Amino acid sequence: MTTIIDGKEIAERIRADVSNCANRLTDEGVTPGLATVLMSDDGASETYVSMKQRACEETGIEGIHEELDSDRPAEALFDRIDDLNEDPTVHGILVQMPVPNHVDSRAVLERIDPMKDVDGFHPENVGRLVAGNPRFKPCTPHGVQKLLAAAGVDTEGKDAVVVGRSDIVGKPMANLLIQKAAGGNATTTVCHSHTDDLTEKLRRSDIVVAAAGVPEMITGDMISEGSVVIDVGVNRIDADSEKGYELVGDVDFKSAKERASAITPVPGGVGPMTIAMLMYNTVKAASLQSGVEVNL
Ligand code: NDP
């Protein structure tokens, strides 16, 4: 029997714990605050930001939302970030990516106070993660780590493969899996678009994390019998539905389910975890900044 890992249910449990911690901080006079900044006309980015704001409301976090017209100069965004860095009611800052082409996204990430960088993308936080002393783990890979733990998957000594090497998913995921810590200690291979013979790498793995952004590219025959498959991919494909599209992962769920021992669905797998871990990082940021300890 293949276990279908229910990300929605696991994320709800995490959000309940995070909410308890947020309430405890509020009782101590420190209401955790998350500022989201949107400088984009992209509909998907608007949706992501409003989902994050809704999650704040449900978790007991004070959500602050800022919007800048996408034709404003980069300096306008930097000034806004500077203000939020100085604002003691704001513990976490998230600038929704992508920003317009005339704005240097690396400079944006570096402008955010590393203590408020709840995405975990500031070079200081990336460095701490690589050095094995993470402050804020990036939300999606951290969510995958939590999913594996909740599903009872021990990564210790396992062969893992991460398909994708982006700064937001693939690289931090690999870093978490190789860490000398709980949820790590896996022997980890990172694959990308230049990888020769992906199937060979997948077939010798116990754990597969797919984050390539290519619809259903990993099929059942490419993985080993009994492997654990975590599908990070979210891809829109044309479909004969009301919306005209459906969401699929990077894994062909139907065929992979036949061979995997456990697998995440899309939607309802990794997606809900990403937002839960953003709430987690915001509460952690409030705790670190205020010195009020919480049991996260
Ligand atoms: P990127 O496009 O930044 O990175 C994709 C990576 O996959 C690259 O490293 C690329 O290689 C690699 N790749 C592409 N094609 C192949 C291939 N055929 N074989 C092997 N490797 C390949 O994507 P992201 O990391 O931002 O996102 C990945 C997926 O995860 C997307 O579908 C995205 O929507 C989803 N996502 C989901 C989230 C969630 O909360 N569920 C959050 C974030 C992302 P190369 O470096 O050589 O180009």
| Residue-wise pLDDT tens digits, 148-184 | 999 999 999 999 999 999 999 999 999 999 999 999 9
Q: What is the pTM of this model?
A: 0.97
Q: How far apart are CA 160 and CA 145, in angstroms?
A: 12
Residue ranges of alpha helices (H) inside 69-157 are 74-86, 105-111, 123-130, 139-150
**Residues pairing with 207 in the sheet:** 160, 228
Phi, psi of 186 (to 5 degrees): -100, 150
Closest ligand 1 atom to 274 CA: 40
pLDDT tens digits for range 184-216: 999 999 999 999 999 999 999 999 999 999 999
From the CB of 274, is ligand 1 less than 6 Å away?
Answer: yes
pLDDT of residue 79: 98
- Which two three-digit tokens encode residue 236? 């829109």
* Span 245-263, average pLDDT: 97
pLDDT band at 128 (very low <50, low <70, confident <90, very high): very high
Q: How far apart are CA 142 and CA 147, in angstroms?
A: 9
pLDDT of residue 17: 98
pLDDT of residue 265: 98
pLDDT tens digits for range 5-49: 999 999 999 999 999 999 999 999 999 999 999 999 999 999 999
Q: Which ipTM value was assigned to this complex?
A: 0.99
From the CB of 195, is ligand 1 less than 6 Å away?
Answer: yes
E strand residue ranges, the chain = 3-4, 33-38, 62-67, 92-95, 159-163, 187-191, 207-210, 228-231, 235-238, 245-248, 262-263
In CATH, which of 3.40.50.620, 3.40.50.300, 1.20.58.220, 3.40.50.10860 is domain 28-113? 3.40.50.10860
Domain boundaries, the chain: 28-113, 139-271
166 marked as binding residue: yes
pLDDT of residue 201: 98
Q: Report how far ligand 1's centroid is from the alpha carbon of 166 (Å).
A: 6
Closest CA to 209 of 272, 247, 157, 263: 263
Quick one: what percent of the chain has pLDDT higher than 70? 100
Q: Report how far ligand 1's centroid is from the alpha carbon of 167 (Å).
A: 10
From the CB of 233, is ligand 1 less than 6 Å away?
Answer: yes
Do the domains 139-271 and 28-113 match in fold? yes
> Under 8 Å CB-to-CB from 89, ≥6 apart: which residues?
31, 33, 62, 64
From the CB of 25, is ligand 1 less than 6 Å away?
Answer: no
pLDDT of residue 27: 98
165 marked as binding residue: yes
Closest CA to 144 of 15, 280, 16, 269: 269
Q: Please state the CATH superfamily assignment of the domain spanning residues 139-271 in this structure.
A: NAD(P)-binding Rossmann-like Domain (3.40.50.720)
Residue with tokens 């929605």: 8
